[in-house]
Amino acid sequence: MANEFASVRLRLVDTPTGIRLEIYSLKLGERIHLDPVALESLTWQSPELFSTFLQNPLGPEQH
């Protein structure tokens, strides 16, 4: 998936503790594995929370 702001690769990964969704940032070379509960918890969040994430997308140490 890609747009003018981000490019990610999504795939299912079989781990010793079950299937996970891997989200891989092609730009940053970072990845995360999310289980079903972590994915569902995204639906519990407000759009404002995601806006907060995007204010400093690389974390507080970003300059």
Residues 6+ apart with CB under 8 A from 42: none
Q: Please, which pLDDT band fits residue 63 given cuts at 50, 70 and 90?
A: very low
Answer with the residue of higher pLDDT: 17 or 63.
17
**Contact 12/20 with Cβ under 8 angstroms?**
yes
CA distance 63 to 59: 9
* Backbone torsions φ then ψ of 19, nearest 5 degrees: -75, 140
Q: For residue range 4-61, what is the model confidence (pLDDT) as tens digits?
A: 989 999 999 999 999 999 999 999 999 999 999 999 999 999 999 988 888 876 666 6
CA distance 33 to 15: 9
